[in-house]
């Protein structure tokens, strides 16, 4: 069975020794003993550091690199990343608390998201965190709360651009959206901002997530800069910050290729002189979530039973969609595709077979792999879902069926 069909995006990110996956400098079998029980998530700190170094190598030196922590809010992960990036983007007061525990100064923490609660705005203002305001109404609340506190709030305007990010897995801008202020309304919003005497930092434009198409991202970056230059004429003060979003994708499925980071870096490098000319004093920030953490993380569960039903093999595991919704195909996928899944303690295996990996939940949605070729496994073997460092546990319905919540470790 060695000439099986292409199985998954290549396993480039982890070594395999004696047919056992290595993570954090140790064999997976040993890590399982260290953690004590399955299922769990493990994040490899060296891989995260390497990824950030790769970004720094390709991006213009002047660009600020922010971590959008909703991709993986585990405090140890955020602490590790905080030492390597210039800022953290948060999407709730809970995330903001974790970010403020790091070495990142408060003004390099930015808080985005629609429907921020009053207590969230108040604590952001008190902390000196920058608020990406998503509507004029929110701007009014921020000004009022700032007045009550006797603190001038730091704000940027999130713009809902008048263009869409092509080939994005999840669109966050363009057309009617709950995010940001529509481009055509920004001049009036800026007038109001000036009257409210808010401390204006700049603009925030984020158009979509999970993009593997470098030329689409290049186009979005160029259009975002053009838009910012155009709208800066209406601003009450020179722009200090222009956040052009995240959205760099990683390959999950057969046929997908890694993003051409060099092309993205070169494009930004080409755009820099125009920005420095038109917006002197403005720093450009990229806020990346997925790209920084996705490939550094794995989800590990154990086979409880190998079951054959009408000729089809099922590996029933102690993990499932309640821990890893994205791998089950229910987090924004239109057509379900398999994440890369391997048997971690026998990656190649002596014998191979096509199996479906399922969890213990009483629903047919609880599938981690649907008819995927892998090493022939039995009860006790370890199933590993790769590319699981982003939007994994944090995006999963852990309360569903009330099984224990998995452990997370940074190794």
Which stretches within 39-198 are classed as H helix? 45-58, 75-82, 93-100, 118-127, 136-149, 186-195
Residue 318 binding ligand PLP, by CB under 6 A? no
Nearer residue to ligand PLP within complex by CB, 91 or 231: 91
CB of 245 to ligand PLP, least distance (A): 5
Q: What is the enclosing helix (H) or strand (E) of 271?
A: helix 261-278
Among 27, 48, 250, 288, binds ligand PLP (CB under 6 A): 288
Nearer residue to ligand PLP within complex by CB, 120 or 287: 287
Rounded CA gap, 396 and 398, in Å?
6
List residues bridging with 309 in a β-sheet: 312
Which x/- pattern over 372-411 shows residues binding ligand PLP (rule: CB under 6 A)? Answer: ----------------------------------------
Binding to ligand PLP in span 207-266, by CB under 6 A: 209-210, 245-248
CB of 292 to ligand PLP, least distance (A): 8
Among 8, 47, 223, 290, binds ligand PLP (CB under 6 A): 290
Query: What are residue 131's phi and psi, to 5 degrees?
Result: -100, 125
Please check whether residue 46 is in contact with residue 24, taking contact to mean a CB–CB distance below 8 angstroms. yes
| Token pair listed for 141 | 């609340």
Q: What is the enclosing helix (H) or strand (E) of 352?
A: strand 352-358
Binding window for ligand PLP (CB under 6 A); candidates: 57-65, 190-198, 286-294, 301-309: 286-294
Which x/- pattern over 48-77 shows residues binding ligand PLP (rule: CB under 6 A)? Answer: --------------------x-xx------
Q: How far is CA 39 from the centre of its chain?
A: 22
Residue 206 binding ligand PLP, by CB under 6 A? yes
Binding to ligand PLP in span 130-189, by CB under 6 A: none
Which whole-number Å values give the CA distances from 102 to 85, 132, 134, 174, 391, in the listed order? 11, 20, 26, 34, 21
Under DSSP, is residue 83 helix (H, G, I), strand (E, B) or coil?
coil
Q: What is the DSSP letter of 292?
A: H
Rounded CA gap, 232 and 250, in Å?
33
Nearer residue to ligand PLP within complex by CB, 40 or 206: 206
Among 89, 199, 295, 408, binds ligand PLP (CB under 6 A): 89
Residue ranges that bind ligand PLP, judged by CB under 6 A: 68, 70-71, 89, 91, 112, 206, 209-210, 245-248, 287-291
């Amino acid at each position: 069975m060695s000439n099986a069909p292409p199985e998954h995006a290549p396993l480039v990110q982890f070594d395999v020794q004696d047919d056992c996956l290595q993570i954090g400098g140790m064999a997976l079998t040993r890590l399982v003993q260290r953690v004590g029980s399955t299922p769990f998530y493990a994040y490899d700190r060296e891989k995260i550091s390497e990824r950030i170094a790769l970004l720094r190598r390709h991006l213009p030196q002047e660009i600020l690199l922010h971590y959008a922590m909703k991709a993986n809010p585990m405090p140890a992960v955020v602490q590790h990343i905080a030492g390597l990036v210039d800022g953290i983007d948060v999407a709730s007061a809970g995330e903001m608390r974790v970010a403020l525990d790091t070495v990142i100064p408060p003004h390099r923490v930015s808080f985005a998201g629609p429907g921020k609660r009053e207590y969230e705005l108040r604590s952001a203002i008190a902390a000196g965190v920058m608020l990406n305001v998503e509507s004029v109404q929110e701007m009014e609340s921020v000004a009022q709360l700032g007045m009550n506190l006797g603190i001038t709030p730091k704000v940027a305007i999130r713009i809902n651009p008048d263009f869409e990010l092509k080939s994005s897995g999840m669109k966050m801008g363009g057309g009617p959206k709950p995010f940001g202020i529509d481009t055509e309304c920004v001049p009036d919003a800026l007038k109001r901002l000036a009257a409210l005497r808010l401390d204006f930092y700049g603009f925030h434009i984020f158009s979509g997530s999970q993009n593997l198409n470098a030329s689409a991202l290049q186009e979005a970056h160029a259009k975002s800069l053009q838009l910012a230059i155009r709208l800066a004429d209406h601003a009450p003060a020179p722009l200090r910050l222009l956040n052009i979003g995240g959205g760099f994708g990683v390959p999950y499925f057969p046929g997908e290729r890694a993003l051409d980071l060099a092309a993205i870096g070169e494009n930004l490098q080409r755009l820099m002189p125009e920005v420095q000319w038109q917006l002197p004093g403005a720093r450009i920030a990229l806020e990346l979530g997925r790209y920084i953490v996705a490939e550094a993380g794995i989800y590990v569960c154990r086979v409880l039973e190998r079951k054959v039903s009408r000729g089809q093999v099922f590996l029933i595991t102690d993990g499932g969609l309640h821990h890893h919704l994205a791998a089950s195909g229910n987090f924004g996928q239109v057509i379900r595709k398999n994440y890369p899944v391997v048997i971690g303690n026998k990656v190649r295996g002596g014998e191979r077979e096509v199996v479906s990996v399922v969890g213990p939940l009483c629903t047919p949605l609880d599938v981690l792999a649907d008819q995927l070729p892998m090493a022939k496994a039995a009860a006790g073997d370890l199933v590993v879902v790769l590319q699981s460092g982003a939007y994994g546990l944090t995006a999963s319905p852990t309360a569903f069926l009330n099984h224990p919540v998995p452990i997370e470790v940074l190794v």
